[in-house]
Chain A
Amino acid sequence: MASEKLYLYPIWIRIWHWMNAILFITLLVTGVSMQYSNPENPLLISFERSVELHNLCGILISLNYLLFIIGNLLTSNGKQYKMKTKGLLTRIFNQSVYYLFGMFKKQDAPYPISAENKFNPMQRFIYSTAMYVGFPIIIASGTAMLFPEIIIPQIFGFSGLLITAIVHVIIGFILSLFLFIHLYVCTIGSSISSNFKSMITGWH
């Protein structure tokens, strides 16, 4: 079974995924450049260029997110993000134990990849949270900051703009952590590059 090739990633998912990757990395770099803007730091992109790029990529990633939502509604890919709450913690725990100990003892993965289960339980939980909780919040707060006049001026005595900005930055930070972990976990395959190749060819 393990040697049998699976076609896991149809073309629309691959296009969406790589668009999302390019836009997200650009947003991350420009976001950090704005938040820590300093004319003397050559590692950062200039503030004005960052603003332009961040605004453009923010709009594009929101449109790309619509593609993801529509694709998931119209195809069976949406099922990959659904999970049963019963036994969820146990499944995540089992997968964690595998990553921390099992894989070093050459044990078999507790939840092997199949066409019905592209993600292991930990991936399923994290991807679902990122895509259905993190993304909507960061898109909503980003849209509000793009049109600050729609933000409520004061929320419980605090500036509405400040709260929106802090929410945007915190979710952006969490999603960027997700990106680093995601990139690393993708190197855990039959070879370091196999999962990356899968997202190019569609075949796992």
Chain B
Amino acid sequence: MNLSNFKHIILIVSFLCTVSLGFGQETNEKNQSGNDKNQKCLKCHGNHTFKYMNEDFGLEIKEAMCNNRFIDTIAFAQSNHGMFKCTDCHSPEYESFPHAGNLRMGLMYACNDCHGGDPEYAKFHFDEIEEAFYESMHYNRAPDAFNCWSCHNPHSYKTQASKGGKISETVTYDNNICLKCHADISQFELLTERENINILKTHDWLPNQELHFKNVRCIECHTQLNDSLLISHVVMPKENAIRECTKCHSENSRLMASLYKYKSMESRKSNGFINAVIINESYVIGANRNKYLNILSVIIFGLVLSGIFIHTLFRIFKRK
């Protein structure tokens, strides 16, 4: 290789390095700016342990972060609120450490403190959701303790998870919201004096219990249907929960107005099936029927009965 060729190679390699480093720099800067704004808080709250300096004794102390003060940084970044600074919602005084004790006494924002009356968010019906919430047994049993964040974690909430994607994922996501308290006594007792929770026992009347739990959301039976809201927020007392199978297992399946409401608004692909959107991902006995098979079966059955009837008539007339 002569000197000229060697110079060319060096130039090309240098150019490529410069360009790639430049792109890398730009991407890193974007991430950096996103992380930077919350870096100070997430350094401790984004980990299960945190360190601080006890300056009185010159000791570095490592402690466990309380579970309910821990923020899943990835879930937060992907959530609807992921673009906010911590101090957009929490007091800027939290920026100093140790945090002042009286900060805990401050009330947290509720959804409508930001979203209420805002035409940009009108499509989410926050005002109607709030009205429905005030009717719910959750609010009425514990009006001081129960708020939006009791169910919807502001640090991980994703609207898309409720209305898009696969139904099975939506069911899991939504049921996990309920199970956070109803399957964990330590959370449950924060809001009620009741000591026993055993949803398996209270639902032992349900046939194929596991299948129902996997494919149906708790709120299908435990909330009042609402025409204008995608997800009803009027959680009913257990005495009013739906126990009639035919509410879902019938032509006028309740699921079409609840679990499959969004899908049924998006697409009504039929192929002759009643409640076709359900069978795209599942099958509900009684709710899914095929009108062509129904008509065919009635015709065949009618022909058989007619044949039997005519044959009987011949037997009667030719008896002698």
Whether the Cβ atoms of B286 and A47 lie closer than 8 Å is: yes
Whether the Cβ atoms of B207 and A52 lie closer than 8 Å is: yes
Check A162/B244 contact, CB under 8 A, given A34-B249, A148-B208.
Answer: no
* Residues of chain B contacted by A169 (CB below 8 angstroms): 293
**Chain B nearest CB, measured from A103 CB (Å):** 8
Q: Which stretch, A5-13, A20-28, A36-44, A109-117, touches the partner chain B? A: A36-44
Q: Which stretch, A62-70, A124-132, A177-185, touches the partner chain B? A: A177-185
**Chain A nearest CB, measured from B214 CB (Å):** 9
Whether the Cβ atoms of A161 and B286 lie closer than 8 Å is: no
Chain A residues touching B, majority SS: helix
**Interface check A193, CB cutoff 8 A:** no
**Contact residue among A46, A52, A165, A170 (Cβ-Cβ distance under 8 Å from B283):** A165
Range of interface residues on chain B? 20 to 34
* Residues of chain A contacted by B315 (CB below 8 angstroms): 103-104, 188
Q: Which residue of A lies closest to B308 (CB)?
A: A184
**Chain B nearest CB, measured from A56 CB (Å):** 12
Assembly CA distance A37 to B275 (angstroms): 14
Whether the Cβ atoms of B282 and A159 lie closer than 8 Å is: yes
Q: Which stretch, B5-13, B25-33, B106-114, B297-305, touches the partner chain A? A: B297-305
**Interface check B289, CB cutoff 8 A:** yes
* Residues of chain A contacted by B207 (CB below 8 angstroms): 48, 51-52, 55
Assembly CA distance A166 to B272 (angstroms): 13
**Contact residue among B249, B281, B297, B314 (Cβ-Cβ distance under 8 Å from A159):** B281
Assembly CA distance A47 to B300 (angstroms): 26
**Interface check B211, CB cutoff 8 A:** yes
Within 8 A of A (CB), among B206-249: 207-208, 210-211, 244-246, 249
Assembly CA distance A162 to B277 (angstroms): 12
Q: Using a Cβ cutoff of 8 Å, how many contacts connect chains A and B? A: 74
Whether the Cβ atoms of A159 and B245 lie closer than 8 Å is: no
Whether the Cβ atoms of A48 and B279 lie closer than 8 Å is: no
**Contact residue among B244, B249, B304 (Cβ-Cβ distance under 8 Å from A181):** B304
Assembly CA distance A142 to B280 (angstroms): 21
Within 8 A of A (CB), among B280-295: 280-283, 285-286, 288-290, 293
**Interface check A203, CB cutoff 8 A:** no
**Chain A nearest CB, measured from B256 CB (Å):** 15
**Interface check A93, CB cutoff 8 A:** no
Q: Which residue of A lies closest to B317 (CB)?
A: A104
Whether the Cβ atoms of A37 and B304 lie closer than 8 Å is: no
Within 8 A of A (CB), among B29-51: none
Within 8 A of A (CB), among B111-127: none
Whether the Cβ atoms of B286 and A39 lie closer than 8 Å is: no
Whether the Cβ atoms of B288 and A177 lie closer than 8 Å is: no
Assembly CA distance A43 to B122 (angstroms): 47
**Contact residue among B282, B285, B314 (Cβ-Cβ distance under 8 Å from A34):** B285
**Interface check A35, CB cutoff 8 A:** yes
**Contact residue among A48, A162, A177 (Cβ-Cβ distance under 8 Å from B300):** A177
* Residues of chain B contacted by A173 (CB below 8 angstroms): 297, 300
**Chain A nearest CB, measured from B304 CB (Å):** 6
**Chain A nearest CB, measured from B109 CB (Å):** 42
Within 8 A of A (CB), among B236-279: 244-246, 249-251, 279
* Residues of chain A contacted by B279 (CB below 8 angstroms): 159, 162
**Contact residue among A39, A51, A104 (Cβ-Cβ distance under 8 Å from B250):** A39
B residues in contact (CB < 8 Å) with A: 207-208, 210-211, 244-246, 249-251, 279-283, 285-286, 288-290, 293, 297, 300-301, 304-305, 308, 311-312, 314-315, 318
A162-B283, A180-B308 given; name 10 further pairs at CB < 8 Å: A35-B289, A37-B250, A48-B207, A51-B245, A99-B311, A103-B315, A149-B211, A159-B279, A161-B282, A184-B311
